[in-house]
C-alpha cells in the first residue's frame, strides 16, 4: 500500500475536508466553497470520498440513503476509498465519518497514514449546529465548475449567471434534530474504532484550522514521531512525542489565548528562549509572553513558591482564556498545572516535560500539586492539560542519572500492564538504553505513556484503577519524604517496587523467579534495589501519610502475577517491617557506603546491584 497518502478520519464536525485542503496547500479562494468548517477542493491531489461517491453515482447522499439505503451507500463509499488509495495523484484524502464501521475499510485504513481528528462531543455539536452558513464563490472558475454536489455535508450546489451557492440540506444522521444525542451515540460507537486504526490522533478542541494543519504537517514531515490520545468525551487531549517540537507547543495553545505564562527552572532557559522567540514571531496570533523561573527539583513544589507564582499571574492579569505552560521536569509540570488549575478556578494549561521522568509520568494524566511537610503531592488537583508535548531532543541535555531516573516509571508500567516494555529492556544492552537516538528508549517511553493514557482516561480522579499507577510508590514516597526530597523519584520508586515484590511474594502472589525478574530488570537499567541511611520507624511513619491510606489502614498496589496489579490492605506492621529489612542494606560490611554528594548509590553488592543512599 502507498506511503505517500494521508487519510483524515473523524466524526462530523471534525474538519477533515478543511485540514486536508490546508495541508495539501489548496486553500485558494478561487477554487473552493465553504460550509461551516468544511472546505471542498477539486484539485488532483486532494480528494473526498463523499464527493467521489456523488460523482460516481450522480446522486446526493440523501438521495442514496432514501432510494437505496445506508448499506448501498457504504458499498459506494468503500469503492471510493479503494479508488483513492490506488490513485497515485491523491495525497490527501478526507473520508466520511461512518466509513470506520465497515470492516474492510478499517483494514485498508490501517495500511496507510491515517490521522484521526478528535474532538469532544460539545465541540462537535457546536460545529455541526453552526454548519449552516455557506459562503458564496465566483462562478466561472474552472476549478469549481465541475463541482455540482458537496455530499459530505449533504449540500447541493446550483449554478446561475452570477454565483454558485451551496444550498444546505440536512445530514441524514441529524434528521431528527437532536444533534447532541446523535453525536454522543456516534462518539460511543465510533471513537474506539478511530483510535484503533489511526496512526496518529490530533485533538482539535480550542484550536483553529491553521494550528491543526501545522501539527498535521509536523506529523507528515516526521517531526512528531507518535501521538498518544487521552480520550474523554468532554475534554480529550493528545500527547505529542518527537524531536524538534517547539512549534508544536505554540500550536497547542488555546486559540483564544492572548497572554502566555511560561513556568520553568533555570536549567531549561535555552528552551524557554526558543519558545518565546516562536511566540513573539507568530504572524497568525499576537501573544503577550511572561516567564517565571522557579527553583530546580522538588524544592519548587512548595507553598511559598506557589504563592509567589499566583502573585505573578495577578501581576500579568492572566484571564480565563489565557494559558500557562509548564516547561521543565516533572516537578515543574506538577507545579505549573496546579497553578493553572487554581488561578481563576482554572485556565488553560500546556504541559511540556523536558525530562524522561516527566514525559512518562508527571507530564501526563492531569495530576497536579505541591508537597507539604506531611508528604508528597498532598496538596493538589486533578486538572487536564490542553496538550502534552514531549520533545525527545531535550533528553540529550539530561545528566545520566536523570535518564536512569525516568526508567523507574517506564519499567513500572511494564510490571503492571505491558510486559513488552520489560522484554525490550531485557534484550537491550545497557549502553543502548539511553540517549535521544535510542530506539529502545523511544519504544518503551511511548509504551509507558500509552499505559498511563489508557488508565487515566478510564479513571481520572484515582477512584479505582488509577491507583495501579502507584505501584512501588507507597514505600518510594516514604523514602523521598525521609530524605527531604533530596533523592530522585525514579530511584525511590525502584526500591519501592522491590519492597512491593517481596510483600507480594510473602502473600503467595509472586514466585521466586518473578521477584528475581524485578531485581534483574531494575538493576539492568541502573536503578537501586536497596536503600541505606533511613530508619525503619521513620519510613513506617511516612507510609501512614500515603494518599492510599483509608481509615489508618495502609493499602498497597501489589502484583498477583506480573501484569496483574491489585490493591490490598496490609495491617500487619511486623510483616511490613520485615519486608523493609529485605530492601535495606545489611550491616555486614559487604556494601561500601559512597557518601560523595554527587553519588546517590552505594557500591554494588554484585554486578548491577545498587543501593540508594538516603542523605
pLDDT digits over 446-472, tens only? 999 999 999 998 888 887 899 999 999
What pLDDT sits at residue 403? 86
Q: CA of 221: how far to CAs of 60, 225, 245, 409, 438, in Å? A: 36, 9, 12, 30, 20
Q: From the centroid of its chain, how far is CA 463?
A: 20
Model confidence at 135: pLDDT above 80: no
Q: Which residues contact 439 (CB under 8 A, 6 or more apart)?
A: none
What pLDDT sits at residue 579? 96
What pLDDT sits at residue 274? 95
Percent of the chain exceeding pLDDT 90 equals: 68
- For residue 590, which of 569, 573, 611 has the smallest C-alpha distance? 611
Catalytic residues: 345, 367, 409, 452, 462, 466, 470, 473, 477, 489
- For residue 438, which of 400, 469, 412 has the smallest C-alpha distance? 400
Contact 13, 119 (CB under 8 A): yes
Q: Is the dihedral of CA 48, 51, 53, 55 positive or negative?
A: negative
Mean pLDDT across 356-383: 90
What pLDDT sits at residue 129? 85
Q: 327: which DSSP letter?
A: E
Model confidence at 529: pLDDT above 80: yes
Cβ neighbours around 514 below 10 Å, total: 16
Q: What is the pTM of this model?
A: 0.85
Which helix (H) or strand (E) element contains residue 233?
none
Strand, helix or coil for residue 410: helix
Mean pLDDT across 81-101: 95
Model confidence at 476: pLDDT above 50: yes
Amino acid at each position: 500500500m502507498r506511503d505517500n497518502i494521508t487519510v483524515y478520519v473523524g466524526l462530523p464536525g471534525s474538519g477533515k475536508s478543511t485540514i486536508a485542503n490546508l495541508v495539501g496547500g489548496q486553500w485558494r479562494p478561487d477554487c473552493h466553497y465553504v460550509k461551516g468548517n468544511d472546505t471542498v477542493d477539486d484539485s488532483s491531489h486532494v480528494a473526498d470520498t463523499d464527493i467521489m461517491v456523488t460523482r460516481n453515482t450522480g446522486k446526493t447522499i440523501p438521495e442514496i440513503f432514501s432510494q437505496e439505503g445506508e448499506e448501498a451507500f457504504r458499498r459506494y463509499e468503500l469503492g471510493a476509498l479503494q479508488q483513492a488509495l490506488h490513485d497515485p495523484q491523491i495525497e490527501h484524502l478526507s473520508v466520511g465519518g461512518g466509513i470506520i464501521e465497515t470492516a474492510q475499510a478499517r483494514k485498508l485504513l490501517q495500511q496507510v497514514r491515517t490521522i484521526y481528528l478528535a474532538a469532544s462531543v460539545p465541540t462537535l455539536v457546536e460545529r455541526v449546529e453552526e454548519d449552516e452558513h455557506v459562503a458564496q464563490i465566483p462562478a466561472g472558475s474552472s476549478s469549481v465548475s465541475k463541482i455540482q454536489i458537496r455530499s459530505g455535508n449533504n449540500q447541493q450546489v446550483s449554478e446561475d449567471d452570477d454565483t454558485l451557492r451551496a444550498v444546505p440540506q440536512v445530514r441524514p444522521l441529524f434528521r431528527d434534530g437532536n444533534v447532541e444525542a446523535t453525536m454522543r451515540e456516534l462518539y460511543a460507537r465510533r471513537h474506539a474504532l478511530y483510535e484503533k486504526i489511526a496512526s496518529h490522533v490530533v485533538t482539535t478542541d480550542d484550536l483553529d484550522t491553521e494550528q491543526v494543519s501545522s501539527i498535521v504537517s509536523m506529523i507528515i514531515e516526521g517531526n512528531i514521531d507518535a501521538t498518544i490520545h487521552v480520550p474523554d468525551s468532554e475534554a480529550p487531549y493528545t500527547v505529542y512525542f518527537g524531536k524538534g517540537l517547539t512549534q508544536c507547543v505554540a500550536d497547542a495553545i488555546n486559540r483564544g489565548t492572548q497572554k502566555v505564562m511560561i513556568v520553568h527552572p533555570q536549567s531549561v532557559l535555552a528552551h524557554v528562549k526558543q519558545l518565546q522567540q516562536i511566540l513573539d514571531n507568530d504572524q497568525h496570533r499576537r501573544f503577550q509572553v511572561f516567564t517565571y523561573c522557579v527553583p530546580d527539583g522538588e524544592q519548587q513544589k512548595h507553598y511559598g513558591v506557589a504563592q509567589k507564582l499566583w502573585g505573578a499571574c495577578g501581576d500579568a492579569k492572566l484571564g480565563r482564556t489565557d494559558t500557562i505552560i509548564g516547561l521543565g521536569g516533572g516537578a515543574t509540570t506538577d507545579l505549573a498545572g496546579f497553578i493553572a488549575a487554581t488561578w481563576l478556578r482554572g485556565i488553560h494549561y500546556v504541559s511540556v516535560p523536558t525530562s524522561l521522568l516527566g514525559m512518562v509520568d508527571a507530564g501526563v494524566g492531569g495530576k497536579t500539586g505541591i508537597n507539604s511537610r506531611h508528604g508528597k503531592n498532598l496538596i493538589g488537583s486533578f486538572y487536564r492539560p490542553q496538550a502534552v508535548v514531549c520533545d525527545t531532543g531535550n533528553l540529550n541535555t539530561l545528566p545520566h542519572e536523570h535518564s536512569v531516573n525516568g526508567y523507574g516509571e517506564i519499567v513500572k508500567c511494564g510490571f503492571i500492564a505491558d510486559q513488552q516494555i520489560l522484554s525490550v529492556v531485557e534484550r537491550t544492552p545497557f549502553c543502548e538504553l539511553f540517549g535521544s537516538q535510542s530506539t529502545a528508549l523511544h519504544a518503551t517511553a511511548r509504551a509507558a505513556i500509552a499505559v498511563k493514557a489508557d488508565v487515566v482516561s478510564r479513571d481520572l480522579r484515582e477512584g479505582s484503577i488509577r491507583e495501579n499507577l502507584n505501584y512501588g510508590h507507597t514505600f518510594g514516597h516514604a523514602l523521598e519524604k525521609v530524605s527531604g526530597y533530596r533523592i530522585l523519584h525514579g530511584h525511590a520508586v525502584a526500591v519501592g517496587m522491590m519492597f512491593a515484590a517481596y510483600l507480594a511474594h510473602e502473600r503467595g502472589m509472586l514466585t521466586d523467579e518473578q521477584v528475581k525478574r524485578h531485581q534483574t530488570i531494575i538493576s539492568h537499567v541502573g536503578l537501586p534495589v536497596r536503600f541505606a541511611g533511613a530508619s525503619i520507624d521513620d519510613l513506617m511513619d511516612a507510609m501512614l501519610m500515603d494518599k492510599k491510606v483509608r481509615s489508618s489502614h495502609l493499602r498497597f498496589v501489589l502484583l498477583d502475577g506480573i501484569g496483574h496489579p491489585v490493591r490490598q490492605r496490609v495491617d500487619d506492621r511486623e510483616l511490613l517491617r520485615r519486608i523493609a529489612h529485605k530492601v535495606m542494606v545489611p550491616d555486614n560490611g559487604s556494601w561500601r557506603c559512597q557518601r560523595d554528594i554527587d553519588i546517590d548509590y552505594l557500591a554494588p553488592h554484585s554486578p548491577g546491584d545498587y543501593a540508594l543512599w538516603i542523605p
